[in-house]
Structure 1
Amino acid sequence: MSTEVLPRPAIDDPGEPSRPSGTILGILFAAAGMACVGSSVAVSTTITDAPLFTLQTVRYALAALLLLGVARLTGWRVPRPRGREWLWLAGVATAGLVLFNVGVVRGVAHAEPAVIGVAVAAVPMLLAVVPAVATRTLPARPVIIGALVVTAGAVLVEGFGRTDAAGVGYALLVLACEAGFTLLAMPVLPRLGAFGVSFHSVWMATVGMAVVGVATEGPTAVTTLDTVDLLAALYLAVVVTTIAFLLWFTAVRRLGSGRAGLLTGVVPVSAAALGVPLHGVVPGPMVWLGTAVVALGLAVGLRGRTPQG
């Protein structure tokens, strides 16, 4: 693949971050991407008996092929990483995709799903604070306040659950990996763009997940996947990986990690909302309260101009 980048598609254009239109688009992209991620909760309930690491390998392989197919059909060229960019992308794939899934799968064996969900709910704070610490700058006060409020709202939506010491450890691993998915992509997003970061991290994750799958579930586990499993993998590949990744990384370029991170609060809200048409489960008072708190946090954290860079 060529290292020369042809004109990027509109979804991959960072635009001018300080323009209101660019900020609004970034917010819409991030919210839509996180809504896609939230929809995975409904799909995940259908694959609890499947060899999960093997299924994730199929998911990422399908997503990589889909991204490559889109690039070929549209004439877009995927930029080849250079030098240390390979290491950043390997970090995105290893931490944000492979280890994240390992943490979730192993974590639910020691903790109720709500515990893992609460860990993920704390991601906005890391995405706001870590870049500021790395650059020795003060994080924007509205973003910090908004992140705290969004986290509190997401915790109300998720609820609390029982766990043991190992469950806490896996929850912290999931938190670090979820934040790393975005933070490790930041150095390479300016040149590779949302499409390049998505494609390279996904094919790398395919390789890593295949190794984990073979080691834990055996090389023949793929033959045990039934039609429902494969349809779930296809949905995860198209909606939760290809579309969500492109929307998310485009939003991060437009908003920065801190403001974009606030929109992760959409995930538990969208998951709860989907429970109504899919399972007939009407959200309880705490979910409604948490949704209102998330909305308040977004209003606080997203106000004002998005800083350059």
Structure 2
Amino acid sequence: MDTPSASLAPLVPGMIGMVLVGSSVTVSHALVDAPLFSTQAVRYLAATAILLVMARLAGVRPVRPRGREWLWLAGIAVTGLVLFNVAVVRGVAHAEPAVIAVAVACVPLVLGVVGPLLERRSPSRQVLLAAPVVMVGAVLVQGTGRTDAVGVAWAALALACEAGFTLLAVPVLRRHGPWGVSLHTTWLGCVLLAVLGVTLEGPSAVREVSASQWAAAAYLALMVTAVAFVLWYSTVRSAGAGRAGLLTGIAPLAAAAVGAVSGSGLPGAWVWLGIAVVIVGLVAGLRPPSAPAATRLVAEAPPRTQAWGPRT
């Protein structure tokens, strides 16, 4: 894995990716009545095809997984693709989009501690101090937004899955890169969802999907899967999982904005207060460190020849 950068430039792809993830919560509301597994299977099938074309145009040749890499990639597919989408689609039936999306903003503390450890680095004090601020803002939104107990449960599952989506990729990013991890997890997710769809919903379930639902699935396939996955993993590789994790606080901002524009209604005053606290945490955690701190970051980073990851 590359040495994590202290500049803001590597964070830009992740910021865009989190905006797309936040927008997906509102878009996913259109799929509440669709056959969940079958629709998502088609979505990831389309995303796999798009990723193959994009990788070819970018001159990238994904490599085949080997050994334990299959377990890491399958774990990403199960948590970040299958369970996460179940949580989002089912969750928006019980809560406003900002409540579900803000669960993603609780990820920084987990990534801030566990991510650097997986990268064989010490957690950044700056990130650790900023992460609880982001989480406080998330709690304000989740605790005061329109929801019920079921909505909170789905939001908690979305939180766990979002953390797994990033952390489980750390051991395989060095060899496969953002393109390879995105491609392999997408087709694996497609296979898993197709099996669930045929088993639980029947092979003809896709005929029940309406035109507007297919439009929503197409948006999710292109923007939230093919594009956002590559953008996010690019930032995780270049900036480190801990620092990139703070960007998840952007998701509820995007969800609230898209929800308001789409007619889902404006969040209440406490929700906006929570969003403001999230922004404060992001600014505090993502500002470039001072020169001595930046020097220590480079000095403490592991040599590239000693990077982590399975070597089977």
What TM-score do the two structures reach when normalised by structure 1?
0.84
Aligned residue identity for 2:76:
V
Aligned residue identity for 2:197:
G
- Give the corresponding residue for 2:109: 125
- Give the corresponding residue for 2:220: 236
CA 67–81 in structure 1, closer or farther in 2 if over 3 Å, else same: same
Distance 1:106 1:70 in 2: 31
TM superposition shift of 1:116: 4.6
Distance 1:276 1:107 in 2: 18
Aligned residue identity for 1:271:
A
CA contact (8 A) 1:37 1:267 kept: yes
Per-residue CA deviation, residues 53-93 of structure 1 (Å, 9 max, x unaligned), is 21111111100000112233444311222222122111111
Aligned CA-pair RMSD: 2.6
Distance 1:48 1:76 in 2: 36
Mapping 1:95-244, distance limit 5 Å: 95-105=79-89, 112=95, 116-117=100-101, 119-132=103-116, 138-158=122-142, 159-160=144-145, 161-163=147-149, 170-244=154-228
CA 295–116 in structure 1, closer or farther in 2 if over 3 Å, else same: closer
Per-residue CA deviation, residues 165-222 of structure 1 (Å, 9 max, x unaligned), is xx76655443222111100000111111100000000000000111122222111101
Distance 2:231 2:158 in 1: 22
- Give the corresponding residue for 1:247: 231
Q: What SS class does the counterpart of residue 25 from structure 1 fall into? A: coil
- Give the corresponding residue for 2:24: 40
CA contact (8 A) 2:102 2:249 kept: no
TM superposition shift of 1:106: 5.5
Identity across matched positions, percent: 53
Aligned residue identity for 1:183:
L
CA contact (8 A) 1:150 1:295 kept: yes
Q: What SS class does the counterpart of residue 262 from structure 1 fall into? A: helix
CA 170–269 in structure 1, closer or farther in 2 if over 3 Å, else same: closer
CA contact (8 A) 1:115 1:163 kept: no
CA contact (8 A) 2:130 2:284 kept: yes
- Give the corresponding residue for 1:299: 283
- Give the corresponding residue for 1:59: 43
Aligned length: 290
Deviates more, 1:69-78 or 1:218-227: 69-78
CA contact (8 A) 2:17 2:232 kept: yes
Per-residue CA deviation, residues 4-61 of structure 1 (Å, 9 max, x unaligned), is xxxxxxxxxx87633x5xx322221111100011111231222222112211111111
- Give the corresponding residue for 2:13: 29
Aligned partner of 1:88 among 54, 68, 72: 72
